[in-house]
Amino acid sequence: MDKLRIGVVGLGQRGYASGAEYCGLIHVLNDMDSVEIISVCDELPDRVESAVKFFKDKHNLTIKGTTDYKEVVNDPDIDAVCIFCSWEMHVPIALAAMRAGKAVGMEVGGAYSLHDCYELVRVQEETGAPFMMLENACYDRNEMTVMNMVRQGLFGEIVHCSGGYGHDLRAEISLGDEMPHYRLRNYRTRNCENYPTHQLGPICKILNINRGNRMVALSSFASKARGLNDYNARILGKDHPRAKEHFAQGDIVTTNIRCAGGETITLVLDTTLPRPYFSTYYNVRGTRGMFSADTKSVVVEDKMPDKVELDWEEHEPIKDNVKDYYDEYLPDIWKEYDKSGIKAGHGGIDWHVLNAFVDMVRFNKPSPVDVYDAAAWMCVTTLSEASVSMGGAVVEVPDFTGGKWVKVEPQEEWKYSL
Ligand SMILES: NC(=O)c1ccc[n+]([C@@H]2O[C@H](COP(=O)([O-])OP(=O)(O)OC[C@H]3O[C@@H](n4cnc5c(N)ncnc54)[C@H](O)[C@@H]3O)[C@@H](O)[C@H]2O)c1
């Protein structure tokens, strides 16, 4: 395939970012020589008009625009559909696109039901359509470096991983009626780990989930919901309906997961209280070493024999030393990217994930984040919702591979997919 012909559904902050280059994914795609944007779609007509005009004015490109995603998925001029819209429509559009024979690149989010997860798997298996969940966090510079180190045994046997999504989204959520945003309706109605995949993705890759290991059970607890009300009372006024309304979504949701291999995972969702900066809460803990993303600290006992006993009174805290491992363990795709001068959002991971998708479809490669990964990671949302509603009850995590997880070897090709 010479150029991959793409239709894009969802022209919000992620898909289009009002034309802001390097931010909206459509601009990252359009900058790739191997891609042709054929059409854009959003249910809001002004967003479609703006994007069509932007491409004409800025790039002299005539692209189709529509408010109906079915026109995109059924368009014979299109090879692949990229789904950048609100969470609720990810699965319906992905199913329609696969049934129409299109490759699917689907943005991240949680599932609304186990049925949706099973359907994703069933339809992908039936149609054979190329599918990739566009989990850019898997392509993070440090996550990929650490993944390489884990694969090479530097951390010993991995015992526990934690991760999460710490991002103060109070403004985005609170103004979600005036500046349409899907999070507001979700925070009104659901109480769950609503955004699990950013850290669960890299963690599952490290723990070989669906490839010799799987998640078997989870339990979630949600704190009370106070952050949005307090924020809204100050920003919108104490008598504003949104200052008084009941939000279902607890401010902090903590989920513990147990894996068949005996490892545990802790996930934290933290989006409605003040916090200084974005945090992934990412920690990888093994018998011989560890990584902590917030302090960018790596401990590899075998490489620091004098510090095996890390006495806190005698040693400076180890931080910002992950970069000392880049020479040896940063994957080549990152070294090449750094030399290339390409710029893309989230420090470059948006380019990496989209490039992996385009590469997968054009050259018929295995999906780096396949439909079994997507189902396993997304189902945490609906399972946590059930667990929270039952006071933290332990619930079973389904096996979406139908038993194939016991046979599959660890996914070596993932490292080399770009
Ligand atoms: N990977 C990342 O780093 C990252 C970052 C931000 C957002 N996201 C994901 O991107 C997605 C979009 O987020 P956003 O911040 O752009 O949200 P947004 O609300 O700004 O945009 C979503 C767009 O989808 C459109 N839409 C909804 N239903 C539709 C339908 N049936 N047909 C066509 N268009 C429809 C809406 O009108 C809106 O323009 C979400 O899944 C989010 O989780 C990922």
Own/partner long-range contacts of 354-358 (Cβ < 8 Å, ≥24 apart) = 354/25, 354/28, 354/29, 354/32, 354/105, 354/134, 355/32, 355/418, 356/132, 356/139, 356/417, 356/418, 357/80, 357/82, 357/105, 357/132, 357/134, 358/4, 358/29, 358/32, 358/34, 358/35
On the question of pLDDT at 222 being above 80, the answer is: yes
Q: Is the pTM above the cut of 0.85?
A: yes
CATH code linked to domain 138-331+370-416: 3.30.360.10
Ligand 1 is surrounded, with C-beta below 6 A, by 9-15, 41-44, 47, 69, 84-87, 89, 107-109, 136, 181-182, 346
CA of 15 to the centre of ligand 1 (A): 7
pLDDT of res. 178: 83
Confidence of residue 307 (pLDDT cuts 50, 70, 90): low
- Our mutation pick for probing the ligand 1 site, out of 9, 41, 50, 107, counting the most ligand atoms within 8 A of Cβ, is 107
| Spatial distance between the Cα atoms of 348 and 338, rounded to a whole number of angstroms | 9
Q: Please identify which residue in the block is written with the tokens 């795609």.
A: 29
Topology at the third CATH level for domain 4-135: Rossmann fold (3.40.50)
On the question of pLDDT at 212 being above 80, the answer is: yes
CA of 286 to the centre of ligand 1 (A): 36
For the chain, give the percent of residues with pLDDT over 90. 83
Average pLDDT, integer, range 274-285: 93
CA of 91 to the centre of ligand 1 (A): 13
**Closest ligand 1 atom to the C-alpha of 349?**
3
Q: Greater confidence, 22 or 253? A: 253
pLDDT, tens digit, 9 for 90 and up, residues 129-162: 999 999 999 999 999 999 999 999 999 999 999 9
Parse the chain into domains and list their residue ranges.
4-135, 138-331+370-416
Task: Give the residue from 185, 18, 16 showing the smallest Cα distance to 87.
Answer: 185
CA of 373 to the centre of ligand 1 (A): 21
Q: Whose CA is nearest to atom 24 of ligand 1?
A: 85
pLDDT of res. 418: 40
Q: Whose CA is nearest to atom 21 of ligand 1?
A: 12
pLDDT, tens digit, 9 for 90 and up, residues 54-90: 999 999 999 999 999 999 999 999 999 999 999 999 9
CA of 405 to the centre of ligand 1 (A): 31
95 to 43, 107, 358, 367: CA distances (angstroms): 18, 14, 19, 17
**Closest ligand 1 atom to the C-alpha of 134?**
1
Confidence of residue 310 (pLDDT cuts 50, 70, 90): low
pLDDT, tens digit, 9 for 90 and up, residues 381-390: 999 999 999 9
Give the chain's end-to-end CA distance (angstroms, integer).
17
**Closest ligand 1 atom to the C-alpha of 88?**
28
